[in-house]
């Protein structure tokens, strides 16, 4: 047994304030010392470095150890972030930081620990009054003029995960952190971890609790995004919170905006961190919306609206002759982008991530607007100059940048409800709007291939192989160019992304996921018609799948 590993585990155990993780870790140590190989391997994994703090903050599995999410790690993160904020603060007043949390396991205790540690470090700490959606926290940072915000959430990750998402106010306008702030914060966290047991970090109960009026202000601002048009009372629709925290806030927004009350998916409407009805609480995952679609069939509904567990993402379902289907993130994103462009009066920027549909650029050109393609993530999209709308294909939409500088599944939901009701008043549907979009801007079709791995090194090997020997063909289609973003290009920071330009106005982008153990390939084509685009997309998908299969 590695004595150094045991020493690190015992040191961690000695400072852990959580009885559950103390019992978990002490049991592992005892078994490992007795020669249990599985326990020793588990222990080694838990202390195989630290859960990295980056531009997504922290995210990982719950459990004891430096490579897991737990109260020790969160305390170190909070103390390190407080040190960063104090270092950047001016002389006039202490930095203010807002803390929110969702319904996942340990979210509330991580948030309370953070509030006490921020207050103990001399910050003005403001804890949201109860579990709330991530967009409410993002709103609060701007609305209160805070210097920073922390949201305890793992969004749509598996049930055993949790996370720590960080926002900055001031010149960052309430956006998520980007480099170099992430590295500077990480350095402070490491310094705290190396020099101070968390039991010695100063704490204070002198933090504030935000008033309910803050939530009222978010609801009023969000309802104003898309008031219900005439005839909205008759819409029959279904809503699911996916066992998350969206419902209590979203239903008040829908009511304030004037929309008919939805039929809720009762089994998924209340927060439940075990996510009992879904294998994976992500609306993109196969089967995740099955209960919502069944509810829609039973209610003879015209539309399904789904939020992910922290309500920063939106999924939309529509009926088809072959049954209910979820619109892709690009389909929703392009419809909302079209809506934003019509309302922009010829000024502003439409933005999306590199891996989202090129259709948004066609919309921007049609309306004489600027267009920006950014790296993946709303930390980048939200920073596009003169932004009026931004989206990424992973079900994230920023429709009200003056109020929330992050994706917001609730404001996006009311915007989609408005589109659906406007179409309904004309005897049309969202499917008809998609057809009109293709007639106006071109027939764009997109798909995605995800390769989930147990060993992250597989992803690195595939990316290295693609760089060392770039493909000249994808299936029967010729590759005209391979563009590597590793050293930065198109004015963007360096990123682990490859873009393949494929014959016939098609492209493939390949990148590791930033939040899950996946390699993702994003496929886009533009066709003469929807049928032509679908046919060409199928051929491209076959070619990309064969390429990735050959590299594993």
Same domain, 192 and 240: no
pLDDT tens column, 19-75? 999 999 999 999 999 999 999 999 999 999 999 888 779 999 999 999 999 999 999
Residue 22 lies in a domain: no
| Residue corresponding to tokens 């939106």 | 314
Q: What is the 3-state secondary structure (H, E, C) of 486-503?
A: CCCCCCCCCCCCEEEEEC
Which pLDDT score is estimated for 34?
93
Same domain, 292 and 428: yes
Same domain, 475 and 532: yes
CA dist 462 to 231, 355, 465, Å?
A: 53, 18, 5
Task: Give φ, ψ of 201 to 5 degrees.
Answer: -70, 135
d(CA 131, CA 270): 12
Residue 15 lies in a domain: no
Same domain, 516 and 469: yes
Residue 2 lies in a domain: no
Angle 71-88/181-195 helices, nearest 10 degrees? 120
* Secondary structure class of 227 (helix, strand, coil): coil
Q: Which residues of 263-301 are buried (b: 16+ CB within 10 A; e: fewer)?
A: bbbeebbebbbebebbebbbbbeeebbebbbebbeeeeb
Residue 64 lies in a domain: no
d(CA 68, CA 376): 25
CATH of the domain at 477: 3.30.310.50
Final residue of a domain: which of 178, 194, 210? 210
Same domain, 205 and 286: no
C-beta of residue 29 within 8 angstroms of C-beta of residue 1: no
How many domains is the chain built from?
3
Residue 472 lies in a domain: yes
Same domain, 436 and 446: no
pLDDT in tens, the chain (552 residues): 688 999 999 999 999 999 999 999 999 999 999 999 999 999 999 999 999 888 779 999 999 999 999 999 999 999 999 999 999 998 889 999 999 999 999 999 999 999 999 999 999 999 999 999 999 999 999 999 999 999 999 999 999 999 999 999 999 999 999 999 999 999 999 999 999 899 999 999 999 999 999 999 999 999 999 999 987 889 999 999 999 999 999 999 999 999 999 999 999 999 999 999 998 999 999 999 999 999 999 999 999 999 999 999 999 999 999 999 999 999 999 999 999 999 998 999 999 999 999 999 999 999 999 999 999 999 999 999 999 999 999 999 999 999 999 999 999 999 999 999 999 999 999 999 999 999 999 999 999 999 888 888 899 999 999 999 999 999 989 999 999 999 888 889 999 999 999 998 899 999 998 767 889 999 999 999 999 999 999 999 999 999 999 888
Which pLDDT score is estimated for 145?
97
Final residue of a domain: which of 210, 245, 262? 210
* Secondary structure class of 367 (helix, strand, coil): coil
Same domain, 278 and 390: yes
The Cα angle at residue 241 between residues 240 and 242, in degrees rounded to 5: 90
Residues sharing a CB contact under 8 Å with residue 428, sequence separation 6 or more, in sequence order: none
C-beta of residue 395 within 8 angstroms of C-beta of residue 315: yes
Q: Smallest Cα–Cα separation from 13: which of 37, 36, 32?
A: 32
| pTM, two decimal places | 0.95
Same domain, 226 and 194: no
C-beta of residue 414 within 8 angstroms of C-beta of residue 252: no
- Cα dihedral sign, 276-277-282-286: positive
- Give 88-131 as a DSSP string: H--SSS--EEEEEE-SSTTHHHHHHHHHHHHHHTT-EEEE-SS-
Same domain, 474 and 431: no
- Cα dihedral sign, 521-522-528-530: positive
Q: Smallest Cα–Cα separation from 307: which of 318, 317, 296, 297?
A: 317
Residue 369 lies in a domain: yes
d(CA 382, CA 376): 11
CA dist 117 to 200, 201, 204, 422, Å?
A: 11, 7, 7, 49
C-beta of residue 199 within 8 angstroms of C-beta of residue 92: no
The range of the structural domain enclosing residue 243 comes to 217-440
Residue 35 lies in a domain: no
Which pLDDT score is estimated for 1?
67
Same domain, 194 and 315: no
Final residue of a domain: which of 410, 425, 440? 440
Instruction: Look up 155 and say whether it is catalytic.
Output: yes
Residues sharing a CB contact under 8 Å with residue 457, sequence separation 6 or more, in sequence order: none
Quote the tokens at residue 533: 């685009």
CATH of the domain at 170: 3.40.120.10
Q: Which long-range contacts (CB under 8 A, 24 or more apart) does 177-180 make?
A: 177/55, 177/57, 177/379, 178/55, 178/379, 178/380, 178/383, 179/55, 179/493
Q: Active site residue: 66, 107, 114, 155, which one?
A: 155
Q: How many CB atoms lie within 10 A of CB 103?
A: 21
d(CA 335, CA 431): 11
d(CA 287, CA 438): 28
Quote the tokens at residue 405: 């500088």
Same domain, 313 and 400: yes
C-beta of residue 126 within 8 angstroms of C-beta of residue 97: yes
Residue 36 lies in a domain: no
Same domain, 186 and 286: no
Task: Report the length, in residues, of the chain.
Answer: 552
């Amino acid at each position: 047994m590695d004595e150094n590993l045991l020493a690190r585990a015992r040191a961690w155990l000695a400072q852990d304030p959580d009885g559950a993780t103390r019992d978990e870790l002490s049991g592992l140590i005892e078994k490992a010392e007795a020669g249990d190989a599985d326990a020793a391997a588990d222990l080694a994994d838990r202390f195989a470095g630290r859960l990295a703090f980056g531009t997504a903050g922290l995210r990982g599995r719950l459990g004891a150890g430096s490579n897991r999410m737990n109260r020790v790690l969160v305390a170190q993160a909070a103390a390190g972030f407080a040190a960063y904020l104090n270092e950047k603060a001016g002389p006039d007043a202490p930095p203010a930081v807002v803390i929110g949390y969702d319904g996942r396991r340990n979210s509330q205790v991580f948030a309370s620990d953070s509030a006490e540690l921020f207050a103990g470090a001399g910050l003005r700490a403001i804890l949201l009054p109860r579990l709330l959606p991530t967009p409410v926290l993002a709103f609060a940072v701007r609305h209160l003029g805070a210097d920073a915000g922390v949201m305890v959430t793992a969004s749509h990750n598996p049930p055993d995960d949790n996370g720590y998402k960080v926002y900055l106010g001031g010149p960052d306008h309430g956006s998520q952190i980007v480099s170099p702030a992430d590295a500077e914060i990480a350095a402070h966290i490491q310094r705290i971890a190396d020099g101070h047991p968390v039991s010695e970090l100063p704490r204070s109960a002198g933090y504030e609790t935000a008033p309910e009026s803050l939530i009222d202000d978010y609801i009023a601002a969000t309802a104003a995004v898309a008031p219900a048009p005439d005839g909205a009372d008759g819409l029959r629709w279904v809503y699911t919170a996916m066992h998350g925290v969206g419902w209590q806030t979203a239903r008040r927004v829908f009511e304030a905006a004037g929309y008919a009350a939805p039929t809720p998916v009762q089994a998924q409407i209340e927060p439940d961190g075990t996510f009992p009805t879904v294998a994976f609480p992500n609306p993109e995952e196969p089967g995740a919306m099955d209960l919502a679609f069944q509810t829609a069939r039973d209610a003879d509904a015209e539309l399904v609206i789904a939020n992910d567990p922290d309500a920063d993402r939106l999924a939309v379902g529509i009926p088809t002759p072959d049954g209910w289907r979820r619109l892709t993130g690009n389909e929703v994103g392009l419809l909302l982008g079209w809506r934003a462009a019509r309302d922009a009066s010829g000024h502003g920027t439409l933005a999306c991530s590199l891996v989202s549909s090129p259709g948004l650029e066609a919309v921007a050109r049609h309306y004489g607007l600027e267009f920006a393609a950014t790296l993946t993530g709303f930390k980048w999209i939200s920073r596009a100059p003169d932004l009026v709308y931004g989206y990424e294909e992973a079900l994230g939409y920023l429709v009200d940048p003056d109020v929330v500088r992050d994706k917001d599944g609730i404001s996006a939901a009311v915007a989609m409800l408005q589109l659906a009701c406007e179409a309904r008043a004309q005897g049309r549907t969202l499917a008809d709007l998609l057809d009109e979009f293709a007639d106006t801007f071109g027939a764009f079709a997109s798909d995605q291939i995800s390769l989930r791995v147990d060993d992250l090194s597989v992803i690195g090997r595939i990316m290295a192989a693609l760089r060392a020997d770039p493909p000249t063909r994808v299936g029967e289609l010729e590759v005209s160019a391979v563009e590597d973003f590793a050293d930065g290009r198109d004015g963007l920071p360096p990123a682990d992304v490859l873009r393949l330009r494929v014959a016939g106005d098609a492209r493939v982008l390949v990148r590791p996921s930033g939040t899950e153990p996946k390699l993702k390939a994003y496929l886009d084509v533009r066709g003469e018609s929807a049928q032509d685009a679908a046919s060409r997309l199928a051929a491209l998908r076959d070619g990309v799948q064969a390429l990735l299969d050959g590299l594993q």
